[in-house]
Amino acid sequence: MLKTLIVYFSFGGTTARVAESIAAGLRSAGQKVELHNIREGAPRNIEGYDAIGIGTPAYYFRPAFNITEYIRSLSDLHGMQAFVFTLYGTYPGAAGNDVRKALSSAGAEEIGYFKCRGADFFNGYLREGYLFSADNPTANELALAERFGKTLAGVMSGRAYVAPPDDPEPPLMYRIERLLSGRWLVKRIYSRLFSVKRQKCTACNICVQLCPTQNISVDAAGRPVWKNNCLLCVCCEMKCPEEAITSPLSWPLFYPAILYNVNRASRDPSIPHAKVRQSRGETTRL
């Protein structure tokens, strides 16, 4: 029986749902499938698997850092078949392209690429009142993901595969945003610049529990302290019930970029959106 490993990162749950659907497709073709959300860890030794699937949300027009780092930690993928899936709320940019490139540079042979929309809980957009791709993935997109899983099984059994072209490069403004949210800047600079208002923080620990990379510890008073393994998901800021946390992305410096993205995406008829209110850590649809 062929055995496939699927490793993905999911915070909001959409990438997880697509991963489950792809797994259902593979299983219906008689395969054994193992799924890991990288938040809970993932195998570094991939001996014994016939194929590996990597799933990531687009984060700042690239894959999430923990996914890129995971691929880098897998030393040699020669002889391994690999597929990629990516979720995006507005424009995926190079999220899928970068994962595909990283896998093939490590020697893997691509057998599939799938992408679809996923509800975009990016704090900057929520605060402006927009939840992009609010109801994605749809039932139809999940059915397509399952069919993708079946197709993968066919390719693993010898059916021909024609790789789709790379996704188009995003417009200049998004490439600038991608540069401004690069790994080095996040690790060395932004991760030091999160702040918490002493008088507001109740030491409830929600930010610590939610951080997908366990990047937050607490000081003697139970208030959050950030280390440098940050994905810039800003879920700590988004979910704080006291609105006590400020991420560097909330600085006025980044506001024009956020406004540009919101204006552009909200006027793009191909991107569905819902109007929302973001308050005290809760997102309410209007």
Instruction: Tell me the per-residue interface mask from 122 to 161 with ligand FMN, x by CB under 6 A, - otherwise.
Output: x---------------------------------------
Element housing 237 (H / E): helix 235-239
Nearer to ligand FMN, 168 or 222 (CB): 168
Shortest approach of ligand FMN to residue 86 CB, angstroms? 8
Instruction: Tell me the per-residue interface mask from 99 to 118 with ligand FMN, x by CB under 6 A, - otherwise.
Output: -------------------x
Shortest approach of ligand FMN to residue 218 CB, angstroms? 23
CA 112 to chain centre: 18
Nearer to ligand FMN, 95 or 153 (CB): 95
Shortest approach of ligand FMN to residue 232 CB, angstroms? 6
Instruction: Tell me the per-residue interface mask from 184 to 223 with ligand FMN, x by CB under 6 A, - otherwise.
Output: ----------------------------------------
Integer Cα distance of 134 and 117 in angstroms: 9
Integer Cα distance of 69 and 7 in angstroms: 12
Residue 241 C-beta-side C-alpha neighbours within 13 Å: 6
Structural tokens at position 265: 């995406």
Q: What are the helix and strand counts (H, E) for the chain?
A: 10, 13
Q: Is 272 in the site for ligand FMN (CB under 6 A)?
A: no
Cα–Cα distances in Å, from 30 out to 35, 47, 153, 157, 159? 16, 20, 9, 11, 16
Q: How far apart are the first and last CA of the chain?
A: 49
Structural tokens at position 264: 């552009």
Window of 43-51, 142-150, 151-159, 227-235 that interacts with ligand FMN by CB under 6 A: 227-235
Is the dihedral angle over the CA atoms 136, 140, 143, 147 positive or is it negative? negative
Question: Which residues ranging from 161 to 180 are in contact with ligand FMN (CB under 6 A)?
Answer: none
8 Å CB contact between 130 and 276: yes
Q: Is 96 in the site for ligand FMN (CB under 6 A)?
A: no
Integer Cα distance of 212 and 206 in angstroms: 12
Shortest approach of ligand FMN to residue 69 CB, angstroms? 16
Nearer to ligand FMN, 91 or 113 (CB): 91
Question: Which residues ranging from 9 to 68 are in contact with ligand FMN (CB under 6 A)?
Answer: 10-16, 57-61
Integer Cα distance of 259 and 49 in angstroms: 45
Q: Is residue 83 helix, strand or coil?
A: strand
Nearer to ligand FMN, 33 or 58 (CB): 58
Residue of 77, 119, 126, 258 that binds ligand FMN (CB under 6 A): 119
Shortest approach of ligand FMN to residue 75 CB, angstroms? 27
Contacting residues toward ligand FMN, per CB under 6 A: 10-16, 57-61, 87-93, 118-122, 232-234
